[in-house]
Structure 1
Amino acid sequence: MIGSINIVTNLHVNHNIECMYKKLSLLLLSGIAFLPVTQAQILKQLGKAVSSATGGTTASGVTQTDAGNAIKEALAKGVAAGIATLNKKDGFFGNELYKMLLPPDAVKAGNTLRGIGLGSQVDKAILSINRAAEKGVGYAAPIFVDAIKEMSITDALKLIQGDKNAATEYFKGKTTDKLKAAFSPVIKGSLDSTSATRYYGDIVTSYNKLPTTFNKINPDLQDYVTGMAVNALFDQISKEEANIRANPAARTTDLLKKVFGK
């Protein structure tokens, strides 16, 4: 069990760690070109890349490097699971937990347009918004990989005995703003390519032209979709982390088994 692990202190991170993240970065980047892929495919590749890069540890105990990298690997697996779940047709639109509707400031506009027979405009906008999110999350991998890589071994060690989603919450607190900033232009490109920007513009224009509209709207669609997509990914990461901590079958590499128990 985690509480009984005897962590050997004062060991330095060796060259294998850098190799692991180089392999992981290349792995996920190469996967983007062929997304969507299945979660099983991503996790199988991750397991091979990380286990081969972190070999050579001794059987005398779990080192700082082992423990720190196990948390990082759990996060990497969560990212892979999240991307595989969301980066496919209906990953957002067909999932009631993650399906995006109109931004809060535009809900009244959507309801008003439905009431006057323009519901098809609203439906097109909602579908295209979700398609943009499904497409956009496929490009999140390198952003998350860099953020995981930046986590220090010391910080990672503190999370070993944390709550079921301690690593995810730490990761979320440290990287959300950076992730949104990097992810936002990707989402904008997806919104444009799926016509979400145009369909959403049609809603805003139609609503603002109504004689009964006194307060014109223009919510930031890009910011809304970016935030919702990032939140969905973090939710997936949290679920995978909790699964790894609680379920031995989810510890698919030797490193995770060694640190979290078999």
Structure 2
Amino acid sequence: MPKYYFIYNVFAASVVFFSSSALAFDLGGMINSDQILNLGKSLPQNTDNTSASAAGLANFSNKDQVTSLKQALTQGAETAVSELAKQNGYLGNDKVRIPLPENLQKIAGLMQTVGMGKYADDLIASMNRAAEAAVPEARKLLAGAVKTMSVDDAKNILTGGNEAATQYFRKKTETALTGKFKPIVEKSMEKVQLAQKYDQFAAKGAALGLVDQRDAKMDDYVTRKALDGLFVMMAEQEKAIRANPLEATGALAKKVFSAIKN
């Protein structure tokens, strides 16, 4: 089709341009959301808060600590998934909306100037709809991570930082979630012709070292961003419960989180 042929040529021309201007091409010019969303990799710990939290737990048995945490985590995970799974859960939320891959953002302006901005907008909508379709798959895996939590896991989360639970979930479920999300994303995106053209363009860009290998396939990119968005929302739920324990579901969870906050 002529419109896709034109877009593909724009992609191909961009690869040539970028390869001839590699030294001047600033891949860091866009905000790198991966750096923001890479939760739990290098967060500093506040030892004073950790000590205070441990003291607050002294009046609760190990069983109570684990039970209260499971109540809160089940609540937070379910809320995060439910919010994202509804229509516009990703697309309508600035915090988790999946943007065009960075290398494609570089030419999106050109598409706008030639009256083809609609195709970029349609691609963004398709990516986010794919994420919304995939995210319900997280429920079972997140629930499983809660059920298998050990006493030590619970103590580390309760006395950890504001995103300690989110870090735990990411460590325990990210690989399995990727396996669950990707087939749904693939199915959602397989009829999006612009996504197929992107894969052709990005493969050439990756070979030239101009495109992050992780972004060389649209399905991989959308799956990764969908997971990032899920963990962002889970972190928000965790912070809210820590900041206001009375928002926790279950009387025991309210008591334990109030104790570690004080």
TM value normalised by structure 1? 0.65
Partner residue in 1 for 2:163: 165
Q: Per-residue deviation at 1:202?
A: 5.0
Q: Give the unaligned 5+ runs of structure 1.
A: 8-60, 209-214
Residue 188 of structure 1, aligned match among 170, 186, 189: 186
Distance (Å, rounded) in 1 between the aligned partners of 2:97 and 2:56: 41
Distance 2:106 2:55 in 1: 56
Q: Superposition pairs for residues 71-90 of structure 1, below 5 Å? A: 71-90=69-88
Alpha-carbon distance between aligned partners in 2 of 1:5 and 1:100, rounded to the nearest angstrom: 40
- In the other structure, the counterpart of 2:63 is 65
Tell me the distance in 2 between the aligned counterparts of 1:3 and 1:113: 56
Post-superposition offset of 1:70? 2.3
Out of 176, 179, 198, the position equivalent to 1:178 is 176
Report the CA distance between 1:6 and its aligned residue. 5.4
CA displacement at 1:247 relative to structure 2: 0.5
The structure showing larger relative contact order (alpha-carbon pairs under 8 Å, at least 6 residues apart) is 2
Cα offset, 1:5, TM superposition = 4.2
Counterpart position of 2:226: 229
Cα distance in 1 between the residues matched to 2:65 and 2:189: 40
Counterpart position of 1:259:
256
Structure 1, 152-161 or 222-231: larger mean CA deviation: 152-161
Note if contact 1:122-1:203 (Cα within 8 Å) is conserved in structure 2: no
TM superposition shift of 1:115? 3.3
Question: TM-score, structure 2 length as denominator?
Answer: 0.65
1:242 has 2:208 as partner: no
8 Å CA contact 1:74–1:240 kept in 2: the answer is: no
Q: CA deviation at 1:150?
A: 3.0
Task: After the TM superposition, list the runs of 4 or more consecutive aligned residues in structure 1 that deviate by more than 6 angstroms.
Answer: 215-218
How many Å separate the matches in 1 of 2:253 and 2:126? 39
CA contact under 8 A between 2:80 and 2:230: conserved in structure 1? yes
Amino acid at match of 2:86: K
Q: CA deviation at 1:179?
A: 2.2
User: Partner letter of residue 220 of structure 2?
Assistant: D
Alignment partner, residue 24 of structure 1: none
**Hey, what's the Cα distance between the residues in 2 that align with 1:191 and 1:117?**
23
Aligned partner letter, 1:198: Q
Deviations 1:42-74 (A, max 9, x none): xxxxxxxxxxxxxxxxxxx52212212322332
Alpha-carbon shift at residue 2 of structure 1 (Å): 4.6
1:1-262 map, 5 Å:
2-5=53-56, 7=58, 62-192=60-190, 195=191, 197-201=192-196, 219-261=216-258
Equivalent position amino acid for 2:196 in 1: G
Percent identity at matched positions?
31
The one-letter code of the counterpart of 1:130 is: N
- Aligned-residue RMSD, C-alpha: 2.8
Partners of 1:221 and 1:202 lie apart in 2 by 10
Which protein is richer in helix relative to its size?
2
Seen in structure 2, the aligned counterparts of structure 1 residues 173 and 202 have a Cα distance that, compared at 3 Å, is same
